[in-house]
Structure 1
Amino acid sequence: MATSTPQLPAPKFSICLPTLNARAFLEERLESILTQTLTNWELIVCDSHSTDGTWEYLSQWAHDPRVHLHRVPKEGLYAGWNECLKRATGKYVYIATADDTCMPELLERLAEPMDGNENIAVAYCGYRAIDGQGQELTLRRTTFQRFIEPWMDARHDVDGRALFLVTCAFDHNWGSVTGFAFRRALLERTGLFRTDMGMNADCEWALRTLLASPLVAFIPGRLATWRLHETQASRDWGMEDARLCRDSMRDLLNDAQAGLPEAWKTVPGWREQLMLKREWSYEELSSLFRFVARSNPRRFLAQCWRVGKQDPRLFFHQLFRLFAFPPMPTTSWEAHAQHLLATFPCDWPPVSISPADRPLF
């Protein structure tokens, strides 16, 4: 008489692990997954045909029913992320970037607020920056972090639309994928990551996520790590990144399915107000300025040629301004954030849920 294989319970978490030549960091990453205090998970690995022994190393888990190994085409970073997401079956999703790690209690603590409130679509926490050897790094706080941190010393629920506005004001992502989880059902509204945005697809997806999230839960404590090393995919921010960031915001504001509140569209000049920081950042990174011409004429002429071909409007705009540096359109970006929060209907400030226990930064 044949015996049936015991069925595993439906996973609470789908842990998505996209990989490409990340063998050097996989032992730490797998250890941080296998030691999670929340054990009801599935691990979906999509390897884009690594050549450094990654696939061979992962094959030792081929017979673990919780682990699903797939080889997928090498089509770019976010295409690999999407391959994992397409296969996810859990109630919640955590994207485990291959070179980062997390604390054993990460999934348990991120699941807790979503378990308790159906309106919470995303939960996130702080993280530590580490180098290639795992040593902690001290990074300069961003203006976004300085603005938000007065509310982030304790467990808070934040209106997703409010975080969207703050992100608009600072042109900076509100969190790192290494420290957040989300309801898989959210993908029905946000879709997958765009693959035509270069290294900025996660920023674009984060904006759509915030508009689709009634509430975002902040969990105090740095429960994950973000590794900075020479071989990682991310790189320094440049003019092309700023252009893609600006254009993606334009696309989002023009998308009737993005979930932009109708009340916002009644505000005079609403589109220009939400675009202000991205337009200024793009212009600021063009290098079409008199001080650049004086200090580095070759770079200046190269940028004139490049921008003249790619964006004649910007080139002639700067030419008519005699290549002056763009003036700040506001007294400060902090003031702009306060202006957006006061102008566009949203719930602000965040709602405290528990006493302070761990600092974020």
Structure 2
Amino acid sequence: MKPMSGLNEFEVIELAWKIFEKDKEELLNLDDATAFRHGNNIVVLNIDTFDEETDWLPGMTYFDIGWKSIVMSISDIVVKGANPKGCIISLGVPDNAYQENIIELYNGIKSACESLKVAFWGGDTSFTKTLHLSVVSVGIADKIISRKTAQPGDIVYSTGLFGLTSLGYKILLDNEIYNIGLKEILESLYRPKLIDLEFWSIISKYVNASIDSSDGLAMSLNLISEASNVKIIVEQLPLHPLVYQNVKDDEKAEELALYRGGEEFHFIFTASPSNSYKIEDIAREHRCSLYRIGYVEKGSGVWLKKENKISLIHPYGWTHGIKWEKKNEGSYS
């Protein structure tokens, strides 16, 4: 018998697909979500799980857990082009919880659902040794956006700035002290916000490939590169100014934001240059943040171009089972 310890989430997924056959009618094929046609519509689904032992950060309340669990799942269907409709949950209630705790959790779920204008459809409840909360989100799309369809010549965008969650993890897990903007840093981890859904629904028809950044900046860019079989050149790292202000060393700040983040839930996407001005005009009209960070060309890997020098951005990031580590360096060229 081979122990599971030491395996990461990607390797566990690979074990599954050695046994199961992929459904030819499923449209996304190992992406942020699952999609299939139903009549004239495309139904998009995602399941995401919050587990007490791996996901409960110090200082996080039951309300935060409810909020974040909804955002985690909804993000994955929205980034694929779906209009989110509703969600169901599976809740494992721990023996040591109080009724007030679970009411607080439900209020967090309710608040997130109301903010994102999605319905709550109920679910399943059991009693467990530790808290777990799985959320299944359902949406409808006219067009789905794969991570496999980035094209040479595309512009690469991010809908947000990176590094706040990186600082937050260092504060909460490594006991490091970063005092500048502390409230904003912790808020990014406890109650992450999604992109303006109306804005995304308008520009998504111009998007070629997309992914949400739950695995961190470096890993997310590499996942698009690998899936699309293209090279991504990053010319401008989308780093939050609080990273530089707290770390005070540009190189360390950039490395921290690239490799030690995750769960920002920003969208990283590519679009044809012919559509870039439309997208940027719509962002200005909706007063939504949008950052042009690089471009796509033929080749492989993700590269940082800085002062006429180019360096590899490794496929490292948050991975369940090993936390911040490389995915599988051998699978990238």
TM-score range for the pair, normalised by the shorter chain length: under 0.3
Instruction: Report the structure number with the largest CA radius of gyration.
Output: 1
Structure 1 length as normaliser, TM-score?
A: 0.25
TM-score normalised to the size of structure 2? 0.27
